[in-house]
A and B are shown apart, each in its own frame.
Chain A
């Protein structure tokens, strides 16, 4: 029970996000209307993805420092769950975009090629491609130790590129996506105070959920590799 408090917190926060987030009053902006509620889901996915990828790269660095296979397993699992959150972020964004950006007379997929050119979307797509490449690289090596070492190296190298891609590049190029200057969503002028009451707990709740899923996967994998790790 002592160790489970954050799991309970995660569930409570997500219940709060879904109930209050969907029922509470929100400012109705001309373009956004009710779709603004997607903030509690779409933006939180990216926060959770970024945090999971950071944990993954930290484990990669730890692996190179002390060569424990446990860190390799953690690094991989955090990357996988990060990818899932990235895909969810992409799809919630696609739903949001089809109500706000897309031409109402055209189906959303017809305008996709123009919309996907947006720098923020390019950054997100690159992030996912990098981690898919990471998984391909891992699976292409059979030797356990070598696999762990090489993929940790690639993880760190790729993360160093991910950072400018997501945080610098979109600020240099014109974009439809909000958050052109400063940090999107963290800026206190961007988000209405009523919404911030739900938004920050939602970020925490989704991130904790991601970590929870990952710890379960890590435990399964540790059991699978038990023979190799403890002997």
Chain B
């Protein structure tokens, strides 16, 4: 148990170090966020809260695809063989899930900041909305991490991730958008059971990834 935690930590640390040493990817995503939001700023100026909400989550979706896609695509065949000799599939998958969650949490907060800077801030319950953004970013990163594994194994690019992922993520996005609508209005309360449902879905994704990844891992 302790041993496998150590391995997970080591793999997580490796991804973090890579990210710090090759900062171009991090800044690449950051630039992607910045320029998309700037395009929106040019196109819509200050949107109404409903449109703001829709735009925000669609942008989150695209950010998450771009941020997460490279996690498996960057691993070449030789390196995968090396991981195969030092770690189990579940440990490898968990390390990737943790790392991508962290990455996406950072990106979500940054994009929320840029969004409110450029497009105004219609959010009334800021604390609750930040919580929702983090939850949403986490959900997106988990689903797309697993799909990135599938796409990498199928030797495809990020486009297939979008095809595979969009139908799966619609229910979660729908729930997130409804929850955020409640955060835009002081009169509405945020339904707790919907939040719990989202957390349950996230837990399901983690369990499924750990169960199913071993079948993708072997070649």
Contacts and interface: CB of A to CB of B under 8 A. Distances in A.
A221 B59 CA distance: 43
A149 B171 contact: no
Of B164, B204, B208, most buried by chain A (CB within 10 Å of CB) is B164
A130 B212 contact: no
A111 B216 CA distance: 44
B171 A137 contact: no
A152 B146 CA distance: 14
Interface stretch (A13-21, A35-43, A167-175, A191-199): A167-175
27 contacts: A126-B171, A129-B166, A129-B167, A130-B167, A133-B164, A136-B163, A137-B150, A137-B160, A140-B154, A141-B155, A146-B219, A149-B215, A150-B150, A150-B153, A153-B215, A154-B150, A157-B150, A158-B164, A158-B167, A158-B168, A160-B204, A160-B208, A164-B171, A164-B201, A169-B171, A169-B174, A172-B197
Contact of A165 (B146, B171, B212, B219): B171
B168 A137 contact: no
Contacts of B164: 133, 137, 154, 158
Contacts, number: 69
Interface string A108-147: 0000000000000010001001100100110011000010
Contacts of B146: 157
B14 interface: no
Interface in B48-65: none
A64 interface: yes
Chain B contact-residue range equals: 20 to 34
B125 interface: no
Given A133-B163, A137-B154, A154-B150, A64 B215 contact: yes
A156 B163 CA distance: 16
Interface of A: 64, 122, 126, 129-130, 133, 136-137, 140-141, 146, 149-150, 152-154, 156-158, 160-161, 164-165, 168-169, 172-173
A28 to B, nearest CB: 36
B178 A173 contact: yes
B170 interface: yes
A129 B171 CA distance: 13
Contacts of B160: 136-137, 140
A149 B166 CA distance: 21
B170 A168 contact: no
Given A137-B164, A140-B160, A173-B178, A168 B197 contact: yes
Interface of B: 146, 150, 153-156, 160, 163-164, 166-168, 170-171, 174-175, 178, 194, 197, 201, 204, 208, 212, 215-216, 219
Q: Is the interface of A mostly helix, strand, loop or mixed?
A: helix
Contact of B168 (A152, A153, A161): A161
Given A152-B215, A160-B208, A164-B171, 18 more contacts: A130-B167, A133-B167, A137-B150, A137-B163, A140-B160, A146-B154, A149-B216, A150-B150, A153-B150, A153-B216, A157-B212, A158-B168, A160-B204, A165-B170, A165-B171, A169-B174, A169-B175, A173-B174
A168 B152 CA distance: 31
Contacts of A146: 153-154, 219
A164 B109 CA distance: 28
A156 B213 CA distance: 12
A75 to B, nearest CB: 14
Given A156-B208, A160-B204, A140 B216 contact: no
Contacts of A154: 150, 164
A152 B215 CA distance: 9
A122 B170 contact: yes
Which 6 residue pairs across A and B have the least CB separation, nearest first? A129-B167, A130-B167, A165-B171, A161-B168, A153-B212, A133-B164
B156 A130 contact: no
A126 B167 contact: yes
Of A149, A161, A168, most buried by chain B (CB within 10 Å of CB) is A161
B200 to A, nearest CB: 9
A150 B154 CA distance: 7
Nearest to B197: A168
A141 B168 contact: no
A161 B144 CA distance: 13
